[in-house]
Amino acid sequence: MATSLAVAGVLTTSLIPVTASDAALLARPDYPAARWVAADPGNWGSRNGDTITGIALHTFDPVPPAVPDYDSTIRFFANPNAAQTSAHYVIRSRDGDITQMVQNQDRANHLRGHNGNTIGIEHEATSREEKWYTDIMMRSSAALVRDLCERYLIPRTGSSEPDEQSGGIRGHNQFSGHEGNSDPGRFWYERHDAYLQKVRGGKRDAAVPFGGQYQIFQRQRDHSVHQRVWDGSAWRGWADLGGSFAGEPAAVAFGRQMHVFGIDRATRELRTRYWDPSGGWSNWAEPGGTPARLRGNPSAVVIGQNLHVFARGENNQVYEARWSDGAWRWTNLGGTVVGDPAALDFGGQAQVYALGSDQRLYSNVLGGSGWGGWAKSGEPGARLTGTPSVIRFGGQAQAFVQGLNGNVYQAVWNREGGWTWHNLGGAIFGDPSATVVGSTVRVTALGTDSRLWTDSWSANGWTGWRKAAGGPAGGLTGTPTAMAFGNQLQVTVQGLNGRAHQAAWQPGSNWWWADLGGTAAN
């Protein structure tokens, strides 16, 4: 039968039957930031219905005097080899470059006895030399694993103890039957806790000021959404809103209503529930027929009488659901994105931002004739990762995003000069979160010490990164959510123990912390 093939973006028709090996040669990477080189068809096969439940981390570990070599390993997997071995991904030490060689849906031969249920990632390193375990390789690997955990609902858990066989993310020798293996080695396990912090960078709670209230929404261990409210004088207890979700919720105030959104864990459709003062909470509902399977964390914004929700599809395209004139309507905005989209109200104009497959920032703007298409937002001079945080500040659009080097980058757009970029420095886990408090831009992020840090801009320029005093003894994880609440900076952030924490600061005062409890999902 005739088979349609996508070759270099052009749809062609072949009258020759396409084999599995042909399809592999023509495949595109599942992870958009990777390049594709197909493994030899003898080195991989079908999963035969097995479900992906974990990630196996490897290092090359060649026999001395040989040293790890990225290109040689790719060639080894791309050609027939006696052991018929392969890996889904290979990552280079010096710059974190990623090559995918086996599609996620297929079985790579990397971990005897566990191939059917795992995704294998090889790192250009040896357990005998620390120099190979570069920060950029670890960050690039963590960004990939963050994406895989989000896509396949793999727990973002693991252990720095080589003999501990638990968690969704494990080293080769943490799998049963492989206890005597040398990789990924002690230099990996010394970095493993920091690695998991980077993987958890997308974990966050939604927070929304609502009248005189401050409302927090958290996906908890049973994957349902729970709400906690500051009513102006005290925190109420957690309220279970139900549902079962694949990622973190989004929430937005829409007139007198509070709307919450999430991606259903089973169907991967968008779900919404809203609170109205006349009737309380509605039931969870699917708004208007989700056109594709979604993933990750949605983003919502209200502009006039319209409510816009953006989410990434499993095909890495961006979709918009818009409530307008009493009905939901969906639009496929296309693109090939890494990470979740972020929405912005720019003076009554809807804008959405996301990172492209080249790890640069892109934006799409809704005009009078519809969406304008994705455009690169200048050149940051660095590869970026994660989900941007976007704000309007006067006549400027500003985006803050994590670099693969751990710095925070700021992109500023104005009508006169277009986009300009600034490296704000820092050394962070997870994504930054920005807000405007009065006439000051405030950016928050978790430092590599698992503590909250802030950088602020006013007429005098940037203050530089400063640690927020206090916080839970066990440290923090994920991405903070920063909001203005009157003249206060309010930050909602998760502890390493899964509990929600609220930090507040205002000029002339110290940081104030509250432990709100809860049990956030892994």
Q: What is the mean pLDDT of residues 387-396?
A: 97
Residue-level pLDDT at 10? 28
Yes or no: say if 228 and 214 are a contact pair by the CB < 8 Å rule. no
Q: Beta strand 118-123 with 54-59: parallel, antiparallel or unpaired?
A: parallel
CA atoms of 256 and 211, how far apart (whole Å): 9
Residue-level pLDDT at 417? 84
Q: Which of 137, 135, 130, 126 is nearest to 68 (CA)?
A: 126
Residue 273 lies in a domain: no
Q: Is the pLDDT of residue 45 over 90?
A: yes
- Count: domains in the chain: 1
Yes or no: say if 455 and 180 are a contact pair by the CB < 8 Å rule. no
Residue-level pLDDT at 182? 87
Give tens-digit pLDDT for 84-111: 999 999 999 999 999 999 999 999 999 9
Q: Which of 260, 153, 223 is nearest to 520 (CA)?
A: 223
Residue 76 lies in a domain: yes
Q: Which of 439, 469, 432 is nearest to 457 (CA)?
A: 439
Q: Is the pLDDT of residue 21 over 90?
A: no
Which amino acid is located at 364 in the chain?
A: N
Residue 115's domain comprises 14-199
CA atoms of 387 and 339, how far apart (whole Å): 5
Give tens-digit pLDDT for 270-325: 999 999 999 999 999 999 999 999 999 999 999 999 999 999 999 999 999 999 99
Across-strand partners of 492? 481, 502
Residue 360 lies in a domain: no
Residue 185 lies in a domain: yes
Q: What is the 3-state secondary structure (H, E, C) of 340-363?
A: EEEEEECCCCEEEEEEECCCCEEE
Q: Is the pLDDT of residue 8 over 60?
A: no
Q: Which of 420, 431, 462, 34 is nearest to 204 (CA)?
A: 431
Q: Is the pLDDT of residue 23 over 90?
A: no
Which amino acid is located at 154 in the chain?
A: I
Going by pLDDT thresholds of 50, 70 and 90, the confidence category of residue 65 is confident
Yes or no: say if 262 and 247 are a contact pair by the CB < 8 Å rule. yes
Give tens-digit pLDDT for 316-355: 999 999 999 999 999 999 999 999 999 999 999 999 999 9
Least confident of 133-142, 249-258, 412-421: 412-421
Residue 98 lies in a domain: yes
Residue-level pLDDT at 64? 86
Across-strand partners of 250? 261
Give tens-digit pLDDT for 448-481: 999 999 999 999 999 999 999 999 999 999 999 9
Residue 101 lies in a domain: yes
Q: What is the mean pLDDT of residues 206-235?
A: 96
Q: What angle do CA 496, 500, 506 make, to 5 degrees?
A: 110
Q: Is the pLDDT of residue 26 over 80?
A: no
Q: What is the mean pLDDT of residues 73-86?
A: 96
Q: Is the pLDDT of residue 489 over 70?
A: yes
Residue 266 lies in a domain: no
DSSP, res 144: H
In three-state secondary structure terms, 373 is coil
Q: Could you give the percent of the chain with pLDDT greater than 90?
A: 91
Whole-number average pLDDT of the chain = 94
Residue 128 lies in a domain: yes
Domain harbouring 137, CATH code: 3.40.80.10
Q: What is the mean pLDDT of residues 151-162?
A: 97
Q: Could you give the percent of the chain with pLDDT greater than 70?
A: 95
Yes or no: say if 104 and 119 are a contact pair by the CB < 8 Å rule. yes
